[in-house]
Chains A and B, each alone.
Chain A
Amino acid sequence: MQTKRRFEGYCLVDHSNSPGITNRQLVDNGMPIGVGRARYEAPTILCWHCQAVELVDSGRQKTPPYCSKCDQYICHRCSLVMKLTGECKPFTKVMDEAMELAARGQAVPIFNPGAVNGQAFG
């Protein structure tokens, strides 16, 4: 039986032989607490809307945000944008549109997954 686990990547950060990184520095850079010490391993998910990679930090969450329209995991930013707009546009659709425009010799528009009502968000 196939599960969503097959979409998980893998991340290893090893500071076993290093002074490491403080938690404050990690949080400021968008990585979970604990990554900067010893050996840290975690699954990753690829946002199906914007392709951002997020570490699945079991200390804070066990299940990443989920889009029921495209039936895939998404990142926290796209989850918030979806709550605000209700729109689901998978990146595969963005790719198809870009390929179509490129094949016709037309310019591909700037990709902006965090836009709400035309304004950048997050």
Chain B
Amino acid sequence: MAKRSVNFENITLTAFADTANLTDATYPFLIQGGSGTQRIDIWEISIQGQSTSSAVTYTLLSRDSTVCITNSYGTAQMDAAIDASTAALAAVPLTGNTNTTKPQRSSTLHLLPLSINAFGGFADWKASPYAYPNTIGASASLGEVSFSAFTGGSGIVAGFCIYDVY
């Protein structure tokens, strides 16, 4: 077990339809397994609006029908272990939002809608210790999830996602 946090600041979201390429640095994060058998549990997602005027934001956690390839972090986005004594992972999950092959959100596997008005709005979701979404492996459709803005709304946001790696 190794709880980690992927966090992001001042991301200007772009709204994407399902099965559309997620453009670099316009969505908060994705999480893809570091190996074909790695399991990732998602514990908490928090999003805070940072827009300076009213901006309804339809953010959505969803499995991806197309997974990313060659991942890196965007500006003000990073991933770190929560427990300072955590050992380095042999297979590090991918959590950036900049990729050569862009991920695509699945149209049938949406997991969690978290809509806010990014002008002062805030949303937080915590999983039960007994029931939480997982990813398995690193290939579509179970191996990757992404948190992105759905068609119809976008804003400037910050936040984090806490996840656990097995």
| A interface residue numbers (CB < 8 A to B) | 6-15, 17-21, 25-26, 28-31, 35-36, 44-46, 48, 50-53, 91, 94-95, 98-99, 102-103, 105, 107-108, 110-114, 120, 122
- Residues A15 and B120 in contact in the complex (CB < 8 Å), given A36-B115, A53-B133, A110-B141: yes
B contact residues around A31 at 8 Å (CB)? 113, 115
CB-based contact A11/B136 at 8 Å? no
A contact residues around B119 at 8 Å (CB)? 18-19
Total chain B interface residues with beta-carbon distance under 8 A: 46
Interface residue B105 (Cβ < 8 Å from any Cβ of A): no
Q: State the CA gap A30–B110 with chains docked (Å).
A: 11
- The residue that A15 contacts in the complex, of B121, B126, B152, with Cβ under 8 A, is B121
Shortest Cβ distance from A116 into chain B, in angstroms?
12
A contact residues around B114 at 8 Å (CB)? 11, 13
Shortest Cβ distance from A100 into chain B, in angstroms?
10
- Residues A29 and B116 in contact in the complex (CB < 8 Å), given A107-B139, A110-B140: no
Q: Which label, helix, strand, loop or mixed, suits the secondary structure of the B interface? A: strand
Interface residue B109 (Cβ < 8 Å from any Cβ of A): yes
B11-49 to A contact mask, C-beta < 8 Å, 1/0:
000000000000000000000000011010000000001
Q: State the CA gap A64–B57 with chains docked (Å).
A: 26
- Residues A6 and B139 in contact in the complex (CB < 8 Å), given A15-B117, A53-B112: no
Question: Which residue of chain B is the closest to A45 with respect to CB atoms?
Answer: B131
- Residues A108 and B137 in contact in the complex (CB < 8 Å), given A18-B120, A30-B113, A98-B142: yes
B122-162 to A contact mask, C-beta < 8 Å, 1/0:
11111111111110110111110000001011000000000
